[in-house]
Chain A
Amino acid sequence: MPHRVRPRPAWVVPVTIGWVSFVAAGVAETLFFASFDPQVLTASATFPFELSRLGAYTLGFVLFWALGAAAASAVVWMLRAEPHRSDAADSIEGDEPRA
């Protein structure tokens, strides 16, 4: 089946990673902070840690976002770097001229 892919600009991949992980971070943020009050969390940290609620929400969001973006980037990279029958293998076979 032929590709039915619209030619796309190069920025689409990083921007899509950023945007999809942004949405995922929003969901994670909502679920997490609806269950836990950041003020209680920071108060029970094992090291001195002071952060306003708004600060904790922001930091939490950025962390969720970074995590999602890292995972998505890894997926994209691994799919792209999918080992095809490598050049090395080709060259070994290529030593024997075929009819």
Chain B
Amino acid sequence: MSAVPPGIAGKFEDSDSSLYAARKKVYPRELPGRFQHLRKLAMLVLLGLFYGVAWLPWDGRQAVLFDLPARKFHVFALTFWPQDFFFLALLLIIAALSLFFVTALAGRLWCGYACPQTVWTELFMTIERWVEGDRAARMRLDRGPWDARRVLRKLAKQTLWISLAAWTGFTFVGYFAPIHTLGTEVLAFATGPWETFWILFYGLATYGNAGYLREQVCIYMCPYARFQSAMFDKDTMIIAYDDRRGEQRGARKRGEDHQAKGLGDCIDCTLCVQVCPTGIDIRDGLQYECIACAACVDACDSVMDKVGYPRGLVRYTTAHAFSDKPSRVLRTRTLVYAGLLGTIISAFVVGVVLRVPVALDVLRDRNALYRVDDDSVENVYLLKIINLDSRPHRYDVSVTGLAALSIEVDAHAAQHADEDHEVDEHDAAHPRSARTAAVAAGSVGNVAIRVSAPLGTVHGAAKIELSVAATDDPTQVAREASRFFAPVQ
């Protein structure tokens, strides 16, 4: 299926010589309307979330922090570790499926209302309009000489753009390194080299994409723009010009009976073209450049109101509705997407709820396979007990797999990997015993244990299983297999 209807197909047939063309700068005109109000609202909410959420506190830390230096992702009450990579993968699949689902139902809603490229472009254009004036004023300014007025306007715009881009870069990095610390460092010009690099990188990307590349990102670089038509069918919501009603387009005098003159409802005012941020003419049919921002719908509605024709010459519709057939929301395509999406979201939620907040890694002591001591054989293991919970726990360490194994937590070797947290050594409810180890919330406890068996019960090697269980919550259990070595005879 092609996103380009027959009407437009011939337009881009060309030889190699015209394959490269200089871009004509698009000066979108702004006209208010219901969909543009909706878009502004979506933009404010999304930008507010991006710039605001980084500053939200939660339980003494940043609420949303993908703490790369500490290898922990905090999302409100939840903390994800590299071990939880599975959830990240699920989340990405959910995001992709949601996009497919929404596209099948409502077309390129994402492009027009929620894509960061659109949102930041809108923001940068709002500044541009504010400093340089409306469409005509901006075109005049760019055509005119470099006089004091133009220099001043451009300077003001650049100052605002660059400040905003820098703030964006800073906020972005603030999601990966604690933003309060980062802010202090920025104010003191003391950010580390890597933070500096990423702030500048992201700032520059924002400035370039939202200030200059704009619709060209959608037209030339966006993969979604290329494959979205694969999710489309005849019941997908699209923005279209009703050519049966609109043609023959043409100018007319006020109050004139246009139908008698053989004219349709389109007065050919070209407002729909002037407001288009990607610089296309919706009257040529559905085009892959269209980001479904509905600016042309609002523009045309305002004109129809003025000339006293019914609204909706350019409107949200479906291919079926356009050919006077009923549109269906429930159809194989949407049901399949919805089914898949529902299944994976349920799997995600169940997974997160049932997630046992403790993990165990077992490393064997590298220095010696075993140590023979009078009448017993001893193996040493280093346990990494990862407390994924938001409160400290004391864990019972146990070993299974062989009869007559005994275990001892090496109190002197028990140490703590994460300097940020103090181990709760004096937990009154659970006094220290030889077989338990305390690990602070959200940290890793390194505990050395000695497992021993009577000499002669194991020959060579045997499989054992080590496990830790929270003393205050027996459902928090983690197990890990390892091997126990002994002399062969």
Contact = CB atoms under 8 A, between A and B. Distances in A.
A3 B12 contact: yes
Contact of A4 (B12, B82, B219): B12
Nearest to A59: B194
Interface in A1-58: 2-10, 12, 15-16, 19-20, 30, 33-35, 37, 52-55, 57-58
B221 A5 contact: no
Given A19-B221, A53-B68, A8 B82 contact: no
Contacts of B85: 30, 34-35
B23 A6 contact: no
Interface stretch (B14-22, B162-170, B315-323, B473-481): B14-22
Given A9-B20, A52-B194, A37 B68 contact: no
Interface string B204-231: 0000000000001001110100000000
A52 B195 CA distance: 12
Interface in A74-89: none
Interface string B32-75: 00000000000000000000000000000000000011010000
A54 B220 contact: no
Interface string B358-369: 000000000000
B4 A54 contact: no
B220 A8 contact: yes
Given A7-B20, A58-B197, A12 B220 contact: yes
B95 interface: no
B19 A8 contact: yes
Contacts of A30: 85, 88
B146 interface: no
Given A37-B71, A54-B69, A57-B68, A4 B221 contact: no
B21 A54 contact: no
Contacts, number: 69
Contacts of A35: 82, 85
Contacts of A33: 82
A80 to B, nearest CB: 12
B13 interface: yes
Interface string B316-356: 00000000000000000000000000000000000000000
Interface string B277-313: 0000000000001000000000000000000000000
A3 B14 contact: yes
Interface residues of A, number: 25
Nearest to B208: A15
B21 A15 contact: no
Nearest to B288: A6
A54 B194 contact: yes
Contact of A7 (B4, B9, B21, B195): B21
B182 to A, nearest CB: 11
A81 B393 CA distance: 64
Contacts of B69: 52-54
Contact of B18 (A7, A15, A37, A54): A7
A53 B4 CA distance: 48
B14 A5 contact: yes
Given A37-B71, A54-B195, A58-B194, A9 B82 contact: no
B405 interface: no
B192 A52 contact: yes
Contact of A6 (B12, B68, B82, B192): B12
Nearest to A51: B194
B71 A53 contact: yes
A93 B148 CA distance: 65
Nearest to A20: B223
B225 to A, nearest CB: 11
A12 B223 CA distance: 13
B460 interface: no
Per CB-CB distance, the 7 closest pairs between chain A and chain B, nearest first, are A7-B21, A34-B85, A2-B13, A54-B194, A12-B220, A58-B194, A34-B82
Given A7-B19, A9-B23, A16-B220, 10 more contacts: A4-B9, A6-B219, A8-B220, A9-B21, A16-B221, A20-B223, A30-B88, A34-B85, A52-B69, A54-B194
23 contacts: A2-B13, A4-B4, A4-B12, A5-B12, A5-B14, A6-B219, A7-B12, A7-B18, A9-B20, A9-B22, A9-B220, A15-B220, A15-B221, A19-B221, A20-B223, A34-B85, A35-B82, A53-B69, A54-B69, A55-B194, A57-B68, A58-B194, A58-B198
